[in-house]
Chains A and B, each alone.
Chain A
Amino acid sequence: MSYKRIIPRLDIKGPNLVKGIHLEGLRVLGKPEEFAKYYYESGADELMLQDVVASLFERNSLDEIISKIAKEIFIPLTVGGGLRTIEDIQRVLRYGADKVAINTAAIKNTDFIKEAANKFGSSTIVVSIEAIKESDGRYLAYVDNGRDYTGVDVFEWAKKVEELGAGEIILSSVDKDGTGEGFDPQLIKTVVDSVSIPVIAHGGAGKKEDVTTIIKNTNVHSIASASIFHYDFVKKNNSKTISTTEGNVEFLKANRSFHNFETCTVEEVKSDLIANNIKCRF
């Protein structure tokens, strides 16, 4: 068994780190670069930045965030959100990303994955799959943060992106995202078993045991999580965060508890993995 990776995921809107539920209803949590630094210091294996609005208008602020983070952290950084052309990929790599995550553009034009993998190497290209379980039990891939229907079957799509040259898959359960209910084992296991490239599971972790359980049950290679780590950081740094954050900070000011989450640090997640004989960098 290879060493499992724990990857804090930072959703970005404009200059802010945000977090929603089911990839929607975004709350401002603070400055992404402060969170990134903290996760780097506390043993994160990689970081993932996702531009959840990805409008042309706010592109400069994303580039600035990538560049700030890349200068301070020396672990891999994956950037996703609105990357539609080879030039877009080149741009974020130039600002300091190591890998890019592509969703919409990959589904709309499958040749784009091939072209990008040939140009930048497979290991630079992560395909992001946003899965929603339909009422008939099928899992379908959505785009634009779970907003737009494509009708594409998740499991067929996963095999296809491997064929096209993707180096990795980040698999998000839109149904579970931000809920703290735990991961979706059926979704994750089926994808892990059907491909030979690494899979990162995202969406649903509410406590450290959820991470351990999903790795045990599916042998998934990596976990990306936002809420459990972010809310822990916010709890510890709330007053400081409010004073330095621009935008809508009503959620932070309300100082509400995050009742679905037993928040924890990256180290605490890893301790639980080790206690359960799961290998990780520690």
Chain B
Amino acid sequence: MSKIIIIDYNLGNLFSVQHACTSLGLDVKVSQDPIEIKNAEAIILPGVGAFNEAMINLEKLNLIEPIKDHINNNKPFFGICLGLQLLFTESEEFGNRKGLNIIEGKVVRFPKEIEGNKLIVPQIGWNTISPKDSKGFKDSPLEGIKDNEFVYFVHSYFVAPENEEDILTYTNYEGHRYCSSVRKNNIFATQFHPEKSGKEGLKIYKNWAKQNNLI
């Protein structure tokens, strides 16, 4: 049985996440079987696409309970992009759709303009991450990543956590500062795509796996 399950809920591209993990020698398996997910040591929730469709798919596949149980049991969880957003209370997309409600806060859309300038949405491309405070990235999966390192983003919505302590990094898009990764108990989740962020991105997967004794 693989240690790490990458959850397949019929949305977005899981293969790049799988390739990245495999290249690092991680023991991963893509699955949508609730039992396999229940028994996993760690789970990765990726995803690109619409929040609403994601919640519908998770419900249909009976994956909401296994994911919540996993997190409540304080087992390692890694969310990416939509896999970060789904953790939140609700999303503005499609009129306040409820999320998994594991982290308090909302998922909101980038504004159409900032200070009179047209804002290009989605944000597609490289941008930098910086730590929330002077503690930096110590003891987090971002350990060893330098301040203002470039990582790859593709998104129209971002998360606004209610509690500042859940925030790990901030990113600034054209003058708009937002939360680009969170950390809470054994949850680590990023708005950016480490599997598309070159060698520094791969380092993040490796750190996460090491810190959780998965390799």
Residues of A in contact with B (beta carbons under 8 Å apart):
1-3, 5, 40, 45, 70-71, 74-76, 93-98, 118-124, 167-168, 196-198, 221-222, 281
Contacts and interface: CB of A to CB of B under 8 A. Distances in A.
B15 A123 contact: no
Contact of A118 (B16, B50, B112, B198): B50
Contact of B122 (A40, A75, A94, A123): A123
14 contacts: A2-B120, A2-B125, A3-B127, A40-B198, A70-B15, A76-B196, A96-B13, A98-B13, A98-B196, A118-B50, A123-B48, A196-B118, A196-B119, A196-B120
Contacts of B49: 119-121, 124
A50 B1 CA distance: 39
Contacts of B122: 122-123, 167-168, 197-198
A96 B126 contact: no
B61 interface: no
A98 B202 CA distance: 17
B152 A70 contact: no
Contacts of B196: 74-76, 98
B150 interface: yes
Nearest to B152: A76
A281 B126 contact: yes
B100 interface: no
Given A196-B119, A281-B126, A123 B156 contact: yes
A96 B118 contact: no
Contacts of A71: 19, 22-23
B202 A168 contact: no
A52 to B, nearest CB: 24
A74 B20 contact: yes
A195 to B, nearest CB: 9
B32 interface: no
B157 to A, nearest CB: 11
Interface of B: 11-13, 15-16, 19-20, 22-23, 48-50, 53, 112, 118-127, 150, 152, 154-156, 173-174, 193, 195-199, 201-202
B129 to A, nearest CB: 12
A93 B20 CA distance: 15
- Chain B at the A interface: SS class: mixed
A261 to B, nearest CB: 26
B124 A168 contact: yes
A2 B121 CA distance: 12
B105 to A, nearest CB: 22
Contacts, number: 99
A281 B199 CA distance: 14
A192 B150 CA distance: 25
B214 to A, nearest CB: 19
B15 A167 contact: no
A192 to B, nearest CB: 9
Contact of B120 (A45, A96, A119, A198): A198
Given A75-B197, A120-B48, A281-B126, 18 more contacts: A3-B127, A71-B19, A74-B19, A74-B23, A74-B196, A74-B201, A76-B193, A76-B196, A96-B16, A98-B13, A98-B16, A121-B49, A121-B50, A123-B155, A123-B156, A124-B12, A198-B120, A221-B120
A118 B52 CA distance: 11
A75 B193 CA distance: 9
B202 to A, nearest CB: 6
A71 B112 CA distance: 36
A135 B23 CA distance: 52
B16 A70 contact: yes
A222 B125 contact: yes
A168 B199 CA distance: 25
A75 B196 CA distance: 4
Contacts of A222: 125
Contact of B125 (A45, A93, A96, A196): A45
B173 A2 contact: yes
B58 to A, nearest CB: 16
A198 B174 CA distance: 14
B111 to A, nearest CB: 11
Given A122-B156, A123-B156, A167 B124 contact: yes
Contacts of B156: 122-123
Given A3-B125, A121-B49, A94 B120 contact: no
Contacts of B118: 196
Nearest to B50: A121
